[in-house]
């Protein structure tokens, strides 16, 4: 199930161990990753960031489904952020 986050839902978001998943582009990757990490990526076309309710980036994962699976593997509930 995909959840969508709204500002009114933030308290519930925190209580339920939810994280949000969003696409991350090359420009942002260049700001947040060291150059040697970027060089190790096969592609930057299908990367997604997983964030907690405070906006802290927890992971960068290749593929939306993989990002959702990673969240669930850590007993978190992923929500899509557009």
Q: What is the pLDDT along the chain (82 residues), one digit of tens a residue?
A: 444 444 544 454 455 689 999 999 989 988 988 888 888 888 778 999 999 988 899 999 999 999 999 999 999 999 887 6
State the total domains in the chain: 1
Domain range for 52: 3-80
Give Rg (Cα) of the chain: 13
pLDDT number for residue 15 = 57
Picking from 78, 8, 20, the residue whose alpha carbon sits closest to that of residue 53 is: 20
Buried b (16+ CB within 10 A) or exposed e, 18-27: bbbbbebeee
pLDDT value of position 4: 46
Token duo for residue 65: 């489904």
Residue 35: its pLDDT value, please?
85
Give the pTM: 0.75
Q: For residues 53 and 3, is the Cβ–Cβ distance under 8 A?
A: no
């Amino acid at each position: 199930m995909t959840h969508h986050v709204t500002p009114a839902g933030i308290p519930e978001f925190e209580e339920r161990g939810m994280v949000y998943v969003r696409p991350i582009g090359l420009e942002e990757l260049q700001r947040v990753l060291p150059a040697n990490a970027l060089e190790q990526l096969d592609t930057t076309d299908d990367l997604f960031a997983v964030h907690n309710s405070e906006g802290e980036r927890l992971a960068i994962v290749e593929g939306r489904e993989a990002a959702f699976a990673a969240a669930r593997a850590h007993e978190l509930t992923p929500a899509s952020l557009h």
